[in-house]
Structure 1
Amino acid sequence: MKNRFLFVCLFVTSICLAQITIKGKVYQVNEPLEGVAVYLNNTMLGATTNTDGEFSIPVKEGQYDLIISYLGFKKINYALNTTEYNKPLIFNLEETYDLLDEITIKKVIYDEDWQYNLTAFKQDFIGITELSEKCILLNPHVLYFDFNTNKNILTAYAKKPLQLKHKGLGYLITYELESFVRNKNTVTYLGYSRYQELKGGKRKQKKWKKNRLKAFNGSVIHFYKAVLNNSFTEDGFIVNQFKRVLNPERPTDTVIKKAKELVRLSSTKINFYTDIKRPKSALDSAMVVLKKIQLPKFIDYLYKSKLSKDDIITFKNEAFYLSFKDNLSIVYTKEKEELRYITRNAFSKKREPLPQTSSLIPLEKNIFLDRNGILINPLATFYEGYWSYEKFGNSLPLDYITDSNF
């Protein structure tokens, strides 16, 4: 069965050409609040309120998630459309009593179990790529973990924003974790991030510039932007279309469940290595069924190769939409897989690196894609393959611009 990963980072940002300045004030019961973080989600654009509770952020025209965050108060996620902005914004924060913080987090024991869960969290959130190794979680002790052994579900909570220092990309990142759940082979995380440039000399700046371009090339954002520009073939992407169907050779989940129950209730000594060619009993039939569990649940059928822009997106009502049937297999030919990707699973066999291949699985129809290659609803898709391997440690702010002016 293929491992499936769903990585979600909430963001809504659209960047155009003209620039304006967004101004506003933040209050608490009519008293100005100093030190409130006000920023555009997943970008380097933000400010901190002054003694009068005022903030000012120069931005390019577009649509944004404006985040107003202050410890001990309810976070505000304000949908900002600069075309509708005509006067200073006013926000009133409400205090919050975090039951999790007061009761649960205080009971955290930083023992071997906590350390084990932390390692799993960092692998599933930051990643195991070469670049992610340079992304350091500075304050891991703000994390609390809950592991359900029966359902194999790991949940993570944070009582304060995560602070990450990415020495490979040159960013200090504040990440406000809203939720993190690893359920068997699926990982979902939601949150808000703010990027700040690290200081460094010419040598570091050159290294960061190179690494950022490497992180961008072949990424999800690179692909979407290249599709909009109709340059994805030139940029090294080959897009194929496939259909996913149930594997007729693999028993259904219901049949497998019944077989397991029959074996469990059997008083007969069972040799699981016996080769049963012709079942002579219900128990033999159950054993045959259980030997087929390892077969993939689904089979992918490729039925169209080298798609064009019109096969992937449509333009209607002054907006772009992902509007293809079934699923996309996307091959990025200008970079090979990392060795860590090839050997990421315990039973993986070493082989020669191939071009990076990812699958794009839509969860909705007609998914809105803004003019800058950003999904307005990132929950509408999930990714398999190489894009699922590249996690937060390979992420860039949405206002990152390459030398080629993507």
Structure 2
Amino acid sequence: MKKGLILLLLLVSSISFSQIVIKGSVVSERNEPLEGASVYFNNTTKGTITNAEGKFELKIKEGYYTLVISFLGYATKQLLITPQSKNKNLHITLKEDSSVLNEVVIRKTIYDDNWKYNLTRFKQTFLGRTKLAQTCKIVNEKDLHFEYSTKTNTLTAFARKPLTIKHQGLGYIITYDLVDFTLKEDRLFFSGFARYKNLRKNIRRKWKQNRLEAYNGSQMHFLRSLTSKKLKEDGFVVNQFKRVPNSDRPSEEKIKFAREFFKLYSRSVNLSKKITHPKTTLDSVIVTLQKAKLPKYRDYLYQKNVPYEDIITYDNKTPYLSFKDYLMVIYTQEPEEENYVIGMFGKRRKANGVQTSNIVLLEGKAQIDIQGVLMNPEAVFNEGYWGFEAFANMLPLDYQPTKN
């Protein structure tokens, strides 16, 4: 009995030691307590509201988080929480929100076919096209507003109120405060603050299974496997490749000239005509336009099974994703979804039976948090399968896979 009591005390001590306890109060600029202010750790299920005295208390596993504090009529505030922040008492002052977020645009928004088209593009890129994306519903769609620039082919979206997303597939109700959404050609960047809540107190078995499937092979899974050095046993293969300009594709100047010349040519032209040796300017234009369809770059694989030291580096025990050129991450335990194989425009590609993603470093290196996420998600760009898996397949930072 004594041994069991000692073991229990050690366990309790270990659990409390691994947690951060954040206490504090939220007040206005007049130092008045704000009752009902929302306080939560971004992208987690950990959150609360302030009491009549404006006070709150939260506990979470040690790590790096963004604490988000919001209250209607006040500007949202964010605070970085680190392992050194534990047991601190925070005094947070919110300022009244004097901004009029595109008030004129919002008043003029017409929910016509153009708005519906932009909404469809928003949902396809933000939520994604996976099976789980089909189980998501944005409850307050009409709080979304769009602007499109034909000059830059850029779609931007903003929302006056946080989006409420009912995720029937994963069993969450997600409040998402959209900060930025920019879709430029085929590149998407979005950011915001998310708070996850379980749809029900008792989590259904199907939700547990879906959450595990969403986790398996994800970037979070990969980064956790990388930092724990379990890539192979977790089903990951990492290769390295270079990306160089495709010498078979004409230059942009030649392509531009060919398109302008073709516009001026009055009579019908067969662009599928096979021309081995161009004899006229028109022949050269046809060849150029045919080759313009070739990819701009070619990828050359030069290392398989990249060692850990070529992927991850440490600075004062802080892990960083750091590598040369590009990484190809293959998850061998699950095949691609059918929608990925078909593609955005219905052009079916060859199914590989594995999930392949490419990682492009945009800032030289990217810090990895102990939860298995990047401190700055904009430091990398994901191609392939991770690019296909959008917001609907994301899990809260405090998610831990169930063990069989």
Q: Distance in 1 between matches of 2:98 and 2:104?
A: 11
Task: Please report the RMSD computed on the Cα atoms of aligned residues, expressed in angstroms.
Answer: 2.1
Give yes or no for the alignment of 1:336 onto 2:317: no
Q: Which amino acid aligns with 1:245?
A: V
**What is the Cα deviation at residue 133 of structure 1?**
1.2
1:391 maps to 2:390? yes
Q: Does the residue aligned with 1:341 lie in a helix, a strand or coil?
A: helix
Alignment-derived partner of residue 184 in structure 2: 183
Structure 2 partner of 1:8: none
How far did 1:269 drift?
5.6
Does the CA-based 8 Å contact 2:63-2:369 persist in structure 1? no
Q: Check conservation: 2:67, 2:80, Cα contact below 8 A.
A: yes
* Shift, 1:313, TM fit: 0.9
Q: Distance in 2 between matches of 1:352 and 1:302?
A: 20
Asked if 1:256 corresponds to 2:255, the answer is yes
Distance (whole Å) between structure 1 residues aligned to residue 164 and residue 194 of structure 2: 10
Q: Are the aligned partners of 2:163 and 2:175 in contact in 1 as well (CA < 8 Å)?
A: yes
Does the CA contact (< 8 Å) of 2:21 and 2:87 recur in 1? no
Deviations 1:335-364 (A, max 9, x none): 011111111233523655521111111112
Provide the rounded CA distance (Å) in 1 between the counterparts of 2:297 and 2:287.
19
Match of 2:212 in 1: 213
Paired position in structure 1 for 2:123: 122
How far did 1:180 drift? 0.8
Cross-structure match for 2:173: 172
Q: Which residue is equivalent to 2:366? A: 367
1:220-231 aligned at under 5 Å gives the runs 220-231=219-230
**CA displacement at 1:266 relative to structure 2:** 4.6
Q: Secondary structure of 1:336's match?
A: coil
Question: In structure 2, what residue type is equivalent to 1:77?
Answer: Q
CA distance in 2, matches of 1:92, 1:370: 28
Deviates more, 1:273-282 or 1:51-60: 273-282
Return the offset for 1:41: 0.6
For 2:315, the equivalent position in structure 1 comes to 316
Question: What TM-score, normalized by structure 1, do the two folds share?
Answer: 0.90
Query: Which of 276-285 and 247-256 deviates more?
Result: 276-285
Shift of 1:270: 4.0
The equivalent of 2:6 in structure 1 is none
Deviates more, 1:207-216 or 1:90-99: 90-99
Distance apart, 1:169 and its partner CA: 0.8
1:275, CA displacement in angstroms?
A: 3.1
Q: Is the 8 A contact 2:39 2:48 kept in 1?
A: yes
Match in the other structure for 1:5: none
Q: CA deviation at 1:151?
A: 3.2
Classify 1:96/1:316 alpha carbon distance in 2 versus 1 (closer, same or farther; 3 Å): closer
Partner of 1:18: 18
Equivalent residue number for residue 39 of structure 2: 38
Specify whether residues 350 and 65 from structure 1 end up closer, same or farther in structure 2 by C-alpha distance, changes over 3 A only. Answer: closer
SS of corresponding position for 1:212: helix
Shift of 1:185: 0.9
Q: Which residue of 1 aligns with 2:378?
A: 379
**Equivalent in the alignment of 1:141:** 142
Structure 1 Cα separation of the partners of residues 387 and 139 of structure 2: 24
SS at match of 2:224: helix
1:304 paired residue number: 303
Q: Conserved in 2, the CA contact under 8 Å of 1:239 and 1:330?
A: yes
Corresponding residue for 1:4?
none
Distance 1:379 1:350 in 2: 28
The 2-side partners of 1:294 and 1:350 are apart by 17
Tell me which residue corresponds to 2:65.
64
For structure 2, the residue ranges without an aligned partner over 5 or more in a row are 1-14
Secondary structure (helix, strand or coil) at the match of 2:332 reads strand
CA distance in 2, matches of 1:353, 1:300: 18
Q: How far apart are residue 309 of structure 1 and its match?
A: 1.9
Report the Cα distance in structure 2 between the residues aligned to 1:246 and 1:26, rounded to whole angstroms: 54
1:111 and 2:112 correspond: yes
> Aligned pair 1:358/2:372, yes or no?
no
Residues 338 and 353 in structure 1, CA contact (< 8 A), matched pair in contact too: no
SS of match in other structure, 1:99: coil
Question: Would you say how many aligned residue pairs link Structure 1 and Structure 2?
Answer: 389
